[in-house]
Amino acid sequence: MIGPYNSEVDDVSFALKRVLPPVLVIVFILAIWQVLTVTKVFSETQFPTMTSTMAALGNALVSPILWQAVGATLEGWIVGLIIASVLALIVGSLLASSTLAFRASAATIEVFKSIPAVAILPIVILVLGSTMNMKIFLISFGVFWPLLIQVIYGVRSMDPTVRDTAKILGVRGVRRFLVVTMPSAAPYIATGLRIASIGALILAVVAELVGGAAGIGRNILIAENGGSAQYALMYAYIIVAGFLGIILTGLFTLIETRVMHWHESQRNARSNEESAK
C-alpha cells in the first residue's frame, strides 16, 4: 500500500461497502410494504401497515410478555439440542466404531431420519400434553437423527494416519474419544450442529404454534386469534422469531470459528482475508 495508513478513512469506506447495500435493500422492502398497505392493495384485515407493525414491535420489546415467550422458546431449544447432541455423540461414536453395528443400524436410522418430526406431534401431545417436556421431546427427536448421521460419518471418515498415530502413542478409551475422535470428527459435527440449531428452533415454534406449549409460537397463534386488531402484534412476533433464527445462526458460526480455528478451512479463510487486505 502506498501512502500512510488511515484507519478512519478505511473504516468509513468499509462501512459504505459492506453495511450500506443490505441496509438499503431492507429499507426498500419496508418502503414497498408500507406503500402496498397504505394504498390498500392489501387491506388492513390481510396485512397490517409497516408502521403499525413496527409500533407493535416497539411495544412488545418493552413488555415482559415477549421476553417470557422468548425465554420459553430458548429453553426448549437449548435443552432439546443438548439432549440430542449428547445422545448422538455417544450413540454415533459407538455405532461408527464397528462396521457391523454401522451396517446393521443404517437402515433403521434412515427410516427414523425420514419421519418428519411434525408427523409425530399428535401422539407426543397426547402423551405429554402442551408442556415444555413435549416441546423438548419433539426437538430432541427431530434433531437427533440428522445429528447422529453426521457423527457417524465424521467418526468413520477419520484419517487412517490419525488413527494409527493414536494407537502408536498408546491413546485409548475415553481419552482417545475426547482428544482424538471428537476433534477429528469436529468438522462434520459442527455442520450437524449448525443445521440442528435451526431445526431445533423451527420445531420449538411448531411445538408452540401447533402443540400449544408456551413460547413465541403460541404468542403468534394467540395474536392471530385476537382478530385483525392484533395482526400487527402477530407480525411483530414473527419478526422476533426471524431475528432469533439469525442470532442463533450467528452465534453458532462465531463458536465454530473459535473452536475450529485449527481446521484447514478456517486457516484458509484467515489467510485469504490476510492477502485480500
Partner 1 sequence: MTSTPTISVSNTQGKPITPILDVDSLRKVYNQGAANENLAIDSVTFSVNKGEFLCIVGPSGCGKTTLLRTISGLAKPTVGTVQFEGTTLTRVPDGLGVVFQDYARSLYPWMTNLQNVSLPLKARGMKKAERLRRTHEVLDSVGLSKVANQYPWQLSGGMQQRVAIARALSYKPDLLLMDEPFASVDAQTRFDLEDLILKVRAEYGVTVVLVTHDIDEAVYLSDRIVVLSKGPSHVREVVPVELGEREQLATRSSDGFLTLRNHLLELVMPR
The binding site for partner 1 (CB under 8 A) comprises 159, 161-162, 164-165, 167-172, 175, 179-180, 183, 186, 262-264, 267
CB of 171 to partner 1, least distance (A): 5
By beta-carbon proximity to partner 1, the closer residue of 96 and 180 is: 180
CB of 25 to partner 1, least distance (A): 39
H or E element at residue 38: helix 20-38
- Cell numbers for 34, please give them: 408500507
By beta-carbon proximity to partner 1, the closer residue of 194 and 263 is: 263
Q: What is the DSSP string of 135-188?
A: HHHHHHHHHHHHHHHHHHHHHHT--HHHHHHHHHHT--HHHHIIIIIHHHHHHH
The overall longest dimension of the chain from CA atoms, in Å, is: 75
By beta-carbon proximity to partner 1, the closer residue of 87 and 171 is: 171
Looking up cell 485449527 gives 262
Instruction: Identify the CA nearest to 189 among candidates 155, 140, 240, 145.
Output: 155
Number of H helices, E strands in the chain: 13, 0
CB of 180 to partner 1, least distance (A): 7
Q: Please give the DSSP secondary-structure letter assigned to residue 228.
A: G
Instruction: Identify the CA nearest to 231 among candidates 154, 133, 239.
Output: 239
CB of 167 to partner 1, least distance (A): 5
By beta-carbon proximity to partner 1, the closer residue of 126 and 168 is: 168
Q: CA 203, 245, 38 angle in degrees (round to 5)?
A: 105
CB of 168 to partner 1, least distance (A): 5
By beta-carbon proximity to partner 1, the closer residue of 249 and 257 is: 257
CB of 169 to partner 1, least distance (A): 4
Backbone angles phi, psi at 39, to 5 degrees: -80, 10
CB of 194 to partner 1, least distance (A): 19
- Cell numbers for 242, please give them: 426471524
d(CA 27, CA 49): 14
By beta-carbon proximity to partner 1, the closer residue of 128 and 158 is: 158
By beta-carbon proximity to partner 1, the closer residue of 45 and 265 is: 265
| Total Cβ atoms within 10 A of residue 108 | 9
Looking up cell 465424521 gives 154
By beta-carbon proximity to partner 1, the closer residue of 121 and 180 is: 180
d(CA 35, CA 236): 18
CB of 254 to partner 1, least distance (A): 18
